[in-house]
C-alpha cells in the first residue's frame, strides 16, 4: 500500500517526522470519528487521488496540484500540509503567480523525484483551478476526519472580470447542419475511407446528442446503454465521479445500430457487453483514449472547414476552432432553443448548479436584443421626418 501511494505522488520515499503530518497542527482531534486509516499527509493525499483512478485526465491534473502543494509546504514553508493555515494559502497563491526560476528550470526532467513542476507563472484562470482542486482535497480530508478544518473555506469569492454570462463556443443550428452535410459528402470509395466516414459520422452524432466530454465518451461502453421502460438511456460518470442518466433518441440508437452493423456487431448493445461505444482504429474492440476522441473531432472539423472555406470564410473559421467541448456546448444550446426545461438540461449535462446551466440560455438575450432594437428603430425618425 505504501509503495502504491508513493507511486501516486512520485515523492521522496520518506519525509522527516516533523513534515510528514503525523502531528500536524490542523489534524482532527482524537474524538472525531475517522473514516480513513491514513495517518500521514502522503497517505491521506494518495487516498484522495485513488478516488479518481478511473478518470485518468482528472487523476493527472489533481496529482500535479497535490504534488506542487506538498513540495511547497515541506520545502518552502517548512511545515506539513496538515499544518497549513489561511496565511499559508495566501502565500501559496502568491507563489503560483511567480514561482522561482529553480521550479521552472528547463533542464529539470519531466518525470521523477527531481522534475520540473512549473513552466512559468500561472495565469489567473489556472490559479483559480489549482486552488479549487486543493480546496476539494482539504474538504475531503475534513470529511474523512483527518483534518480539523480547511484554510480554503475562508477564501473570498472574487468577481470574474470580463467573464461572459453566456457561452459562445457553440455551432448554431444551421452551421451544425452544414457540418453534417459536408461529412455526409466525404468520399467512400475505399475501405479506409468508409471506415473513417462511419466513425466520424457516429462520433459527431454521439457527442452532440449526449453532450459527453471527450473522456466520458472514450469511457462509454455498450453496457452503459440501458433500456428502461421501453426507452434508451446512457449511464455516464463525469467529473468528480458524478453519475447521470442521459436520454437517447430513437434516431441516435439507429445511428448506433448502423455503426455497429458496419463492423459486424449486433445492432442492439448488450447489457453485459464490453465493447466500447467508440471502437478503436479499424473497428478494433478496445477503447480509445480521450485524446484520440478529441483528435477525431478536431480532424473532422478541420476537413469540414477546408470545404466551407471556398464559400464562407467566417463559417470555416468558426468550425476550425470547434472541438469536442464545443459539441457539448452546442448540444446544450440547441436543447435550450428547443424549449427543453433548464432543470432537464442541468441533469443531462450533470451540472451541480443550475446557474452553470443557465449560460446556455441564449433565447432570452436574443429576444431582449430584438425588442430593444425594434423599439429603438420605431422611435428613430427617418431622414425625411421633421425634427423638433
- Contact predicate 224/235, CB 8 Å: yes
CA–CA dist 385, 368 (Å, integer): 27
The arithmetic mean of pLDDT across residues 228-255, rounded, is 88
Residue 257 CB-density burial (10 A; 0-12 exposed, 13-18 middle, 19+ buried): middle
Cell digits for 375? 423599439
Q: Does 367 score more than 60 pLDDT?
A: no
Q: Does 164 score more than 80 pLDDT?
A: no
Q: How confident is residue 348, by pLDDT bands cut at 50, 70 and 90?
A: confident
Q: Does 3 score more than 70 pLDDT?
A: no
The arithmetic mean of pLDDT across residues 78-101, rounded, is 92
Residue at 150 is within a domain: no
Residue at 340 is within a domain: yes
Q: Does 107 score more than 90 pLDDT?
A: no
Q: Domain of 225: which CATH number?
A: 1.10.443.10
pLDDT at 371: 56
3-state secondary structure 228-249: ECCEEEEEEECHHHCEEEEEEC
pLDDT at 385: 36
Show which of 95, 128, 143 is a domain's final residue. Answer: 143
Q: How confident is residue 301, by pLDDT bands cut at 50, 70 and 90?
A: very high
CA–CA dist 50, 276 (Å, integer): 24
Q: Does 255 score more than 70 pLDDT?
A: yes
CA–CA dist 51, 44 (Å, integer): 11
pLDDT at 92: 93
Show which of 122, 143, 164 is a domain's final residue. Answer: 143
Q: How confident is residue 19, by pLDDT bands cut at 50, 70 and 90?
A: confident
The arithmetic mean of pLDDT across residues 45-52, rounded, is 90
Q: How confident is residue 161, by pLDDT bands cut at 50, 70 and 90?
A: very low
Residue at 386 is within a domain: no
Helix and strand numbers, DSSP H then E, in the chain: 16, 3
Please check whether residues 257 and 337 belong to one and the same domain. yes
Our count of domains for the chain comes to 2
How many other CB atoms are there within 10 angstroms of residue 15's CB atom?
17
Domain that holds residue 354: 173-362
Please check whether residues 105 and 226 belong to one and the same domain. no
CA–CA dist 171, 82 (Å, integer): 47
Residue at 372 is within a domain: no
List the single range of 104-113, 125-134, 181-190, 339-348 with lowest mean pLDDT. 104-113
pLDDT at 227: 92
Please check whether residues 210 and 340 belong to one and the same domain. yes
Please check whether residues 139 and 180 belong to one and the same domain. no
Q: State pLDDT tens for residues 257-278.
A: 999 999 999 999 998 888 999 9
Mean pLDDT score across all residues of the chain: 82
Please check whether residues 117 and 210 belong to one and the same domain. no
CA–CA dist 93, 96 (Å, integer): 5
Please check whether residues 130 and 225 belong to one and the same domain. no
Q: Does 362 score more than 80 pLDDT?
A: no
Please check whether residues 180 and 311 belong to one and the same domain. yes
Please check whether residues 86 and 188 belong to one and the same domain. no
Phi then psi dihedrals of residue 226, to 5 deg: -120, 130
Q: How confident is residue 329, by pLDDT bands cut at 50, 70 and 90?
A: confident
Show which of 123, 143, 163 is a domain's final residue. Answer: 143
Overall pTM > 0.85: no
pLDDT at 109: 44
Please check whether residues 200 and 60 belong to one and the same domain. no
The arithmetic mean of pLDDT across residues 92-112, rounded, is 74
Residue at 159 is within a domain: no
Regarding predicted confidence, which is higher, 366 or 295? 295
Q: How confident is residue 357, by pLDDT bands cut at 50, 70 and 90?
A: low
Residue at 385 is within a domain: no
pLDDT at 106: 62
Please check whether residues 137 and 186 belong to one and the same domain. no
* Residues contacting residue 241 through CB under 8 Å, at least 6 positions apart: 51, 52, 55
pLDDT at 156: 56
Query: Nearest Cα to 295, choosing from 239, 217, 377, 351?
Result: 217
- Contact predicate 277/217, CB 8 Å: yes
Residue at 209 is within a domain: yes
List the single range of 35-44, 148-157, 198-207 with lowest mean pLDDT. 148-157
Residue at 154 is within a domain: no
- Contact predicate 32/145, CB 8 Å: yes
Please check whether residues 127 and 6 belong to one and the same domain. yes
Query: Nearest Cα to 299, choosing from 210, 209, 204, 190?
Result: 204
Please check whether residues 19 and 121 belong to one and the same domain. yes
pLDDT at 2: 42
Amino acid at each position: 500500500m505504501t509503495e502504491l501511494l508513493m507511486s501516486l505522488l512520485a515523492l521522496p520515499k520518506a519525509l522527516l517526522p516533523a513534515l510528514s503530518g503525523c502531528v500536524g497542527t490542523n489534524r482532527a482531534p482524537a474524538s472525531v470519528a475517522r473514516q480513513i486509516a491514513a495517518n500521514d499527509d502522503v497517505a491521506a493525499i494518495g487516498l484522495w487521488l485513488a478516488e479518481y483512478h478511473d478518470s485518468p485526465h482528472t487523476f493527472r491534473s489533481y496529482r500535479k496540484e497535490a504534488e506542487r502543494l506538498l513540495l511547497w509546504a515541506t520545502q518552502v514553508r517548512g511545515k506539513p500540509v496538515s499544518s497549513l493555515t489561511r496565511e499559508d494559502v495566501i502565500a501559496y497563491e502568491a507563489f503560483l503567480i511567480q514561482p522561482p526560476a529553480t521550479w521552472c528550470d528547463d533542464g529539470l526532467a519531466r518525470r521523477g523525484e527531481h522534475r520540473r513542476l512549473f513552466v512559468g507563472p500561472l495565469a489567473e484562470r489556472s490559479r483559480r483551478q489549482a486552488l479549487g482542486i486543493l480546496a476539494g482535497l482539504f474538504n475531503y480530508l475534513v470529511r474523512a476526519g483527518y483534518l480539523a478544518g480547511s484554510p480554503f473555506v475562508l477564501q473570498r469569492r472574487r468577481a470574474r472580470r470580463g467573464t461572459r454570462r453566456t457561452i459562445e463556443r457553440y455551432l448554431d443550428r444551421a452551421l451544425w447542419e452544414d457540418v453534417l452535410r459536408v461529412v455526409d459528402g466525404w468520399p467512400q470509395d475505399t475501405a479506409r475511407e468508409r471506415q473513417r466516414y462511419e466513425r466520424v459520422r457516429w462520433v459527431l452524432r454521439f457527442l452532440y446528442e449526449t453532450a459527453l466530454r471527450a473522456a466520458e465518451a472514450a469511457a462509454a461502453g455498450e453496457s452503459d446503454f440501458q433500456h428502461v421502460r421501453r426507452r434508451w438511456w446512457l449511464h455516464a460518470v463525469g467529473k468528480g465521479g458524478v453519475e447521470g442518466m442521459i436520454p437517447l433518441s430513437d434516431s441516435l440508437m439507429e445511428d448506433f445500430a448502423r455503426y455497429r452493423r458496419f463492423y459486424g456487431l449486433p445492432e442492439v448493445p448488450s447489457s453485459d457487453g464490453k465493447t466500447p461505444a467508440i471502437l478503436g482504429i479499424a473497428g478494433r474492440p478496445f477503447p480509445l483514449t480521450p485524446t484520440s476522441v478529441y483528435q477525431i473531432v478536431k480532424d473532422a472539423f478541420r476537413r469540414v472547414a477546408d470545404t466551407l472555406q471556398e464559400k464562407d470564410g467566417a463559417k470555416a473559421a468558426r468550425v476550425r476552432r470547434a472541438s469536442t467541448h464545443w459539441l457539448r456546448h452546442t448540444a446544450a444550446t440547441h436543447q435550450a432553443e428547443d424549449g427543453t426545461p433548464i432543470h432537464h438540461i442541468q441533469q443531462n449535462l450533470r451540472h451541480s448548479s443550475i446557474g452553470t446551466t443557465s449560460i446556455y440560455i441564449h433565447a432570452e438575450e436574443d429576444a431582449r436584443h430584438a425588442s430593444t432594437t425594434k423599439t429603438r428603430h420605431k422611435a428613430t425618425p427617418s431622414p425625411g421626418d421633421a425634427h423638433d
